[in-house]
Amino acid sequence: MALFLQPDHSKGDANTIGGYMAVHGRPAAFEGSDGMSYSVAIEGQATGEANRPWGAYFLFMRWRRIGPQGVEGHLESDFLTFADSAAEAKQALGSLPLTAVRAELERLIAQRAAAEPPARKWWDAMRDE
């Protein structure tokens, strides 16, 4: 069961990805150009590089369209920000506007489509019968 929480705009700028998450108390979600729904998380990880030890990236979870609710796949960006700690790298990435996050999702969808031929959709198969 979903719980609706009123946005608290005192927690940040809802036009940035980090601010949106703070204001609304949940991850942002986008519909991709592939017709699928994606939620986005900001992740941090050690880079192994001495001059920029921590990086942050987006993890886009693709939600299942048919069947039981759940995650069906994901897309990951490269490191987009770097800092001396995971928290600093994630905070820097959180300052990106939602339009930039959406553009990164679309770039990853296009990159995946170029690398993998698209799977045949069930509605296309039904037309052949």
User: Which residues touch 122 (CB under 8 Å, ≥6 apart)?
Assistant: 66
The span from the CA of 76 to the CA of 10, in Å, is: 30
The span from the CA of 88 to the CA of 90, in Å, is: 5
The span from the CA of 37 to the CA of 64, in Å, is: 8
**Could you report the per-residue pLDDT of 72-115, keeping only the tens digit for each?**
999 999 999 999 999 999 999 999 999 999 999 999 999 998 88
Asked if residue 4 has pLDDT above 90, the reply is no
- Contact call for residues 38 and 73 (beta carbons, < 8 A): no
Domain boundaries defined on the chain: 12-116
Tell me what pLDDT residue 119 has: 66
The span from the CA of 38 to the CA of 65, in Å, is: 11
Which two tokens mark 38?
Answer: 């994606």
66 pLDDT band, cuts 50/70/90, is confident
Tell me what pLDDT residue 49 has: 94
Q: How high does pLDDT run on average in the chain?
A: 91
For the whole model, what pTM was predicted?
0.84
